[in-house]
Amino acid sequence: ACGPQLANSPTVIVMVGLPARGKTYISKKLTRYLNWIGVPTKVFNVGEYRREAVKHYSSYDFFRPDNEEAMKVRRQCALAALRDVKLYLTEEAGQIAVFDATNTTRERRGMILNFAKENGFKVFFIESVCNDPTVVATNVMEVKLSSPDYRDCNSTDAMEDFMKRINCYQASYQPLDPDDYDRELSLIKVIDVGRRFLVNRVQDHIQSRIVYYLMNIHVQPRTIYLCRHGESEFNLKGKIGGDSGLSNRGKKFALALNKFVGEQNLKDLKVWTSQLKRTIQTAEALQLPYEQWKALNEIDAGVCEEMTYEEIREQHPEEFALRDQDKYYYRYPSGESYQDLVQRLEPVIMELERQENVLVICHQAVMRCLLAYFLDKSADEMPYLKCPLHTVLKLTPMAYGCRVESISLNIEAVNTHRERPEEAKKGPNPLMRRNSVTPLASPEPTKKPRINSFEEHVAVPSALPGCVPQEVPTQLPGQ
């Protein structure tokens, strides 16, 4: 029996399309994004189940619609994948399962819809349609020829076999039909690698986010450079947060970065900074136009801003211990957590996906969050990623991931990396506060003011000439 369709029922994303249409590329990229924003997601690639069941691929004959024996095996593989989907969504705390297969017939899609209905899952279809032979050929060359199916095969024979494999599906392919047969289904058709989109019956918030994401990504080759600002005066003193300027070595790094960027010989490089002094001073040395993003400001350490870790340990011992236990979810009193930072950085990720060559000059926690997105790192790993000062990370998006090169510009700087403490590796602790706003530790001291602080936004009653309101109330009525 079908259970109630809850607002946050788990979702099965069903890929649809001929081979070499970028289904796996979309599956992997979308899964990386959803996991990054905190929605547990996993890909179930039916091709991998098939390779497990049939160890040695011989030729496209296996995919012929009249090969009954093979058809049986392929159906068994799809059912095995669906069993694992059910397990993931019902027993392993998964929220979204991506069912990555061709799913080119109504019969196969009907089977998946019945499976979802029986288990109370929502279904969202993503169909990739591409009739440009050059795009298909490029995809086959870049991705398919390196597949385990063609391990001992020269590229000409592999290409010929794969094209015949596509033809096997072509004959029975029934595209999604949102105007008639499939009008009740929730779906998006991605046409010619994002030139056009057709969206039908989006059911909920998460589906609308998926649609928004798919409409922002592109496959043009480009490079993304991530680096931190030059070493700051506060870095030298071991203080966190604040808005200090660059140290002498930080200024040297800014000049070295200018030289490095010139050597890269990039067309139309965009430069982005935060709104804090240290990133702006670093960008000024580049003599290029740059754009300031408030979203790129460093994590707000709240009551701990402008303190050293030693001072935090002395003045807020409980806070210090809490942060070490779960650095991703821990929120500084009156400040932010890494989880908050991810939410704040989502528009930056969307814009990075739309752009071509970009240099982002940011801060340690911000750079960790961005890096975790591109390198598919978990929330647990994210706060401990190494992002040293005076080092540029060059990211080159590849077919199913991202190549990263670390380039040190050979200007000395302090090391601001803190390893995960040994106690924190042992697992959860009863101290855990998670995301409460009020601190467990000593009474909250007055928070150091920050750019665009709350007080600036509280409306002050217009005073008569010569009258100045004595103070702005810090508590609103009813709080």
As annotated, the active-site residues are 100, 130, 229, 298
Nearest partner of 279 among 239, 228, 322, judged by Cα: 228
Query: What's the rounded Cα separation, in Å, for the pair 274 and 229?
Result: 10
Q: Which helix (H) or strand (E) covers residue 226, if one does?
A: strand 224-228
Count of CB atoms within 10 A of residue 176's CB?
24
Strand partners, 271: 359
Cα of first residue to Cα of last residue in the chain, in angstroms, is 47
**Burial class of residue 220, CB neighbours in 10 A (0-12, 13-18, 19+):** exposed
Q: How far apart are CA 253 and CA 362, in angstroms?
A: 14
Q: What Rg, from alpha-carbon coordinates, does the chain have?
A: 26
Identify the residue whose tokens are 């001929």.
18
What beta strand segments (E) does 264-340 contain? Answer: 270-273, 291-292
- The dihedral built from the CA positions of residue 236, 241, 247 and 250, taken in this order, carries a sign that is positive
Q: Could you tell me if 38 and 209 are in contact, meaning their C-beta atoms sit under 8 angstroms apart?
A: no
* Calpha distance 476→458 (Å, rounded): 9
Greatest CA separation found in the chain?
92
CA distances from 283 to 230, 288, 370 (A): 10, 8, 19
**Measured at the alpha carbon of residue 285, what is the angle toward residues 341 and 227, in degrees to the nearest 5?**
35
Range 230-237 contact pairs with CB under 8 angstroms and sequence separation of 24 or more: 230/254, 230/257, 230/278, 230/281, 230/282, 230/389, 230/390, 230/411, 230/413, 231/389, 231/390, 231/413, 231/414, 232/278, 234/306, 235/389, 235/413, 235/414, 235/416, 236/414, 237/308
C-alpha 274/C-alpha 294 separation (Å) is: 6
Beta carbons of 63 and 77 less than 8 angstroms apart: no
Please name the residue ranges forming H helices in 215-316. 233-237, 248-264, 277-284, 309-315
- Number of C-beta neighbours around residue 28 at 10 A: 18
Q: With H, G, I as helix, E, B as strand and everything else as coil, classify residue 174.
A: coil
Instruction: Give the full edge-to-edge strand order of the sheet including 401-408.
Output: 291-292, 270-273, 358-362, 224-228, 391-398, 401-408
